């Protein structure tokens, strides 16, 4: 959606892969790409900061540090020199959760490189979500699934941690495994859905739902208007 008069807005200079473009101030990096004429295919996803498709790395004038962000969430700034990282190869273990007898013990078999962590913290520094990646890797090393889950829960799997890791760990995939094992253990202990699902498999509700299915609109409307509503709690 091109805006009217965007040519007249005040501009900053940014460098996309080293090439200078003048971009309206306040634009996100994603809109800067499009303003400059890049038709994004790779490196563009939900455009709302929820999917991790648009990771970028950049440096700014006079600062040695490498910075990162999501292109759809990060405003441009004068002198920014950037590139997209739409894909980075990562190690992903292949497994069948139903066949793993002791999933916690499997951690080091699936991801033996986990023990190579140097504690350098570059993963935490680069994470555009601001996650404490090194800490969740430490939690994973201790096989603390609950903590790994909690610390990694906002992970968008953009892959920047794995791109930077000198120990060559694919952190986000390690956390993925930890969360799934944790979720499955919780489900084993207390599945709420299972009880209702069993009833449904036994056909307990078939007749009553079929009756509704065959009901005319007026009768449905009467039932609907009469139903009691529990007070909504958020």
Partner 1 sequence: MSYPENLRDSIDRVKASRQARLGAEFPRLTPEEKTALLAAFHPDYRAESKRELRVGPNRGERVPQELADLLEGKSWIDPDRFRLDRVDYETDVLVVGGGGAGCTAALLAREHGARVMLATKLRLGDSNTIMAEGGIAAATEPEDSPMLHYLDTVGGGRYENVPELVEALVLDAPLVVEWLENLGVVFDRRPDGSILTHAPGGHCRRRSHSCKDLTGLEIMRVLRDEVRNKDIEIMEFCAAVELLLDENGNCAGAVLYNFDNQEYLLVRAGAVILTTGGMGRLHINKFPTSNHYGATADGLVVAYRAGAPLLYVDAVQYHPTGVAWPDQMLGYLITEALRAHGAHLVNARGERFINELETRDAVASAIIRECREGRGVRTPTGTEGVWLDTPMIDLIGGQGKMARQFTGICKRFERYGIDVSSDPILVYPTQHYQNGGVKHDPQGKTAIPGLFVAGEVGGGVHGRNRLGANSLVDIFVFGRRAGAAAALYARDGRSGKLTLEHVRRFHRELQKAGIREPVTSPLLIPDYLGAGHKARQHV
Which residues ranging from 1 to 60 are in contact with partner 1 (CB under 8 A)? 1-7, 26, 28, 31, 34-37, 39-42, 44-51, 53
Among 17, 62, 142, 234, binds partner 1 (CB under 8 A): 234
Burial 34-68 (b: 16+ CB within 10 A, else e): ebeeeebeebbbebebeebbbbbbbeeeeeeeebb
For residue 158, which phi and psi values (nearest 5 degrees)?
-75, -25
- Of 104-112, 116-124, 132-140, 185-193, the segment contacting partner 1 by CB under 8 A is 185-193
157 binds partner 1, rule: CB under 8 A: yes
Among 59, 67, 125, 180, binds partner 1 (CB under 8 A): 180
Supply the minimum distance, in Å, between the C-beta of residue 156 and partner 1: 7
Between the CA of residue 59 and those of 29, 43, 104, 143, what are the distances in Å? 13, 18, 40, 36
The residues in 188-227 that bind partner 1, with binding defined as CB under 8 A, are: 189-197, 200-201, 205-206, 208-210, 212-214, 217, 220-221, 223-224, 227
Residues with Cβ within 8 Å of 24's Cβ and at least 6 positions away in sequence, in order, are 6, 9, 10, 11, 35
Supply the minimum distance, in Å, between the C-beta of residue 184 and partner 1: 4
Please, what is the end-to-end C-alpha distance for the chain in angstroms? 35
**Closer Cβ to partner 1, 17 or 232, answer by number:** 232
Strands 81-84 and 11-16, sheet pairing: parallel
DSSP designation for 49: S
105 binds partner 1, rule: CB under 8 A: no
Confirm if 91 and 170 have CB atoms less than 8 A apart. yes
Among 61, 105, 120, 187, binds partner 1 (CB under 8 A): 187
Supply the minimum distance, in Å, between the C-beta of residue 61 and partner 1: 20
């Amino acid at each position: 959606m091109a805006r009217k008069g965007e040519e007249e807005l005040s501009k900053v200079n940014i460098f996309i892969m080293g090439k200078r473009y003048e971009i309206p101030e306040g634009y996100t990096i994603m809109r800067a790409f499009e303003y400059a004429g890049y038709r994004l295919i790779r490196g563009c996803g939900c455009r709302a900061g929820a999917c991790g498709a648009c990771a970028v790395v950049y440096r700014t004038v006079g600062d040695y540090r490498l910075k990162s962000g999501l292109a759809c969430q990060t405003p441009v700034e004068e002198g920014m020199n950037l590139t997209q990282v739409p894909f980075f190869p990562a190690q992903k273990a292949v497994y069948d959760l139903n066949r793993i007898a002791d999933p916690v013990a499997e951690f080091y078999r699936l991801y033996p490189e986990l023990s190579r962590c140097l504690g350098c913290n570059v993963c935490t520094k680069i994470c555009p979500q601001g996650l404490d990646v090194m800490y969740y890797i430490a939690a994973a090393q201790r096989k603390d699934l609950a903590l790994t889950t909690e610390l990694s829960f906002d992970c968008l799997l953009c892959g920047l941690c794995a791109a930077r890791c000198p120990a060559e760990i694919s952190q986000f995939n390690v956390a993925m495994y930890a969360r799934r094992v944790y979720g499955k253990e919780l489900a084993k202990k207390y599945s709420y859905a299972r009880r209702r699902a069993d009833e449904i498999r036994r056909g307990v509700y078939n007749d009553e739902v079929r009756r509704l299915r065959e009901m005319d609109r007026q009768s449905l409307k009467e039932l609907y208007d009469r139903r009691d509503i529990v007070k909504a709690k958020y």
